[in-house]
């Protein structure tokens, strides 16, 4: 497999009257695997997907697919010439075509004698061969999704774009459909970019994350790196709860309410400590606080507490949580990742 990225986004801008949806976005995607574009609703994710697919033109910047420029100011390669498959949130199946005809819709460029075999192979790959003669309205949500993805892959695109593909599914069905589909896509060796606003889902399914907010790309990398080593508070917040408190750095050590933190690369002066709730544990020294409530979260309790000056903190408790009103002293786990950022960030 070539080391060349399947997708390169460089300083891409897309503006609409009164707002800039994509504001200087830049990132690359490796070939193969599952990548997730994660960000809150309205941050520009879907607009960026439409730019990659060629449904809209960029105002500035460049988009390259397999090393070829497909979008730049004054240049827009047609969607059908990009080698990109796109599945919208609502799947957008053709209601007047059965499943087999939906999957084969984009194969007009393939010799007629070869089309049935291609369609049959896709129906088998996504376990929907028994639905070949069914109509879209007869399908479940998960079945419609499989048909839409099979149709998008019929022309063998080098990149498949999925816009919030699992948002219409609930509970156990969502998890089961998601895991089965992604297993099939991995087996096919397809490069996939999934748009989602669900951080837990993104971290569970992605080989690579692309974090986006307010039209900008904040960070890219493996889920564990983005979670434990965020480049900013804004990037860290996209992946879950944070505890942010003051710190003072002196000689490569940050003094914090939870104890001392080695910070060899941080300049002396005031700063802020950023950690996840799972970095805090009860200890003999640290921040004295009073428990205000606890919430059951499956494999742990999330305990809220208030320290001096009304400082709110949360930490995870694996066993039975302390009662509201109980005193607790919170310190940092010795192995906990911690980030020190400038005081004005």
> What is the distance, to the nearest Å, from the Cα of residue 93 to the centroid of all Cα atoms in its chain?
25
Kind of pairing, strands 208-213 and 192-196?
A: unpaired
Structure tokens at 103: 């999957």
CA distance 58 to 124: 38
Structure tokens at 296: 């059951």
Residues 6+ apart with CB under 8 A from 314: 241, 243, 277, 280, 302, 303, 304, 305
How many Å apart are CA 19 and CA 211, to the nearest integer?
20
Q: What is the pLDDT of residues 57-75, one digit of tens each?
A: 999 999 999 999 999 999 9
CA end-to-end span of the chain, whole Å?
Answer: 41
- Going residue by residue through the chain (345 aa), what tens digit of pLDDT does each one get? 457 899 999 999 999 999 999 999 999 999 989 999 999 999 999 999 999 999 999 999 999 999 999 999 999 999 989 999 988 877 788 999 999 999 998 787 788 888 899 999 999 988 899 999 999 999 988 888 889 888 988 888 899 999 988 777 766 677 877 888 888 888 888 899 999 999 999 999 999 999 999 999 999 999 999 998 899 999 999 999 899 999 999 999 999 999 999 998 889 999 999 999 989 999 999 999 999 999 998 889 999 999 887 889 999 998 899 999 999 999 999 888 888 988 877
pLDDT at residue 22 in the model: 97
pTM of the model: 0.87
Q: Indicate the burial class of 183 (C-beta count within 10 angstroms; 0-12, 13-18, 19 or more).
A: exposed
The pLDDT of residue 171 is 66
Task: Considering the chain, tell me which residue range(s) the CATH 3.40.50.300 domain(s) occupy.
Answer: 7-237
Kindly list the distances between the CA atom of residue 127 and the CA atoms of 104, 147, 149, 232, in Å, as whole numbers in the listed order: 16, 10, 12, 43
CB 49 within 8 A of CB 163: yes
Spatial separation of the C-alpha atoms in residues 259 and 284, rounded to whole Å: 11
Distance of CA 230 to the CA centre of its chain: 14
Look at the block and give the residue holding tokens 């890219």.
Answer: 220
How many whole angstroms from its chain centre is CA 29? 13
Superfamily the domain 7-237 falls into: P-loop containing nucleotide triphosphate hydrolases (3.40.50.300)
Please classify residue 114 by burial: count the beta carbons closer than 10 Å to its beta carbon, then call 0-12 exposed, 13-18 middle and 19+ buried: exposed
């Amino acid at each position: 497999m070539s080391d060349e990225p399947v997708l390169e986004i460089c300083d891409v801008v897309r503006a609409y009257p009164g707002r800039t949806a994509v504001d200087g976005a830049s990132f690359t995607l490796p070939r193969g695997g599952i990548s997730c574009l994660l960000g809150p609703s309205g941050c520009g994710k879907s607009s960026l997907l439409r730019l990659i697919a060629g449904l809209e033109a960029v105002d500035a910047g460049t988009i390259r697919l397999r090393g070829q420029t497909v979008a730049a100011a004054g240049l827009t390669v047609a969607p059908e010439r990009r080698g990109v498959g796109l599945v919208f949130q609502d799947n957008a199946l053709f209601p007047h075509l059965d499943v087999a005809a939906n999957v084969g819709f984009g194969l007009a460029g393939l010799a007629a004698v070869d089309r049935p075999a291609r369609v049959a192979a896709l129906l088998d790959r996504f376990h929907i061969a028994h639905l070949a003669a069914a109509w879209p309205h007869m399908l479940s949500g998960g079945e419609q999704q499989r048909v839409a993805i099979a149709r998008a892959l019929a022309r063998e695109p080098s990149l498949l774009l999925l816009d919030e593909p699992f948002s219409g599914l609930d509970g156990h069905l969502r998890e089961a459909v998601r895991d089965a589909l992604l297993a099939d896509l991995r087996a096919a060796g397809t490069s996939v970019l999934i748009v989602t606003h669900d951080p837990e889902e993104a971290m569970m399914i992605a080989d690579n994350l692309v974090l986006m907010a307010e039209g900008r790309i904040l960070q890219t990398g493996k889920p564990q790196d983005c979670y434990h080593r965020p480049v900013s508070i804004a990037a860290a917040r996209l992946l879950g709860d944070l505890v942010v408190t003051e710190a003072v750095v002196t000689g490569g050590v940050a003094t914090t309410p939870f104890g001392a933190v080695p910070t060899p690369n941080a300049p002396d002066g005031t700063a802020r400590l950023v950690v996840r709730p799972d970095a805090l544990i009860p200890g003999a020294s640290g921040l004295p606080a009073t428990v205000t409530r606890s919430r059951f979260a499956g494999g742990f309790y999330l305990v809220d507490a208030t320290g001096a000056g009304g400082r709110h903190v949360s930490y995870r408790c694996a066993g039975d949580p302390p009662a509201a009103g109980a005193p607790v002293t919170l310190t940092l786990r010795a192995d906990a990742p911690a980030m020190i950022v400038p005081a004005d960030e």
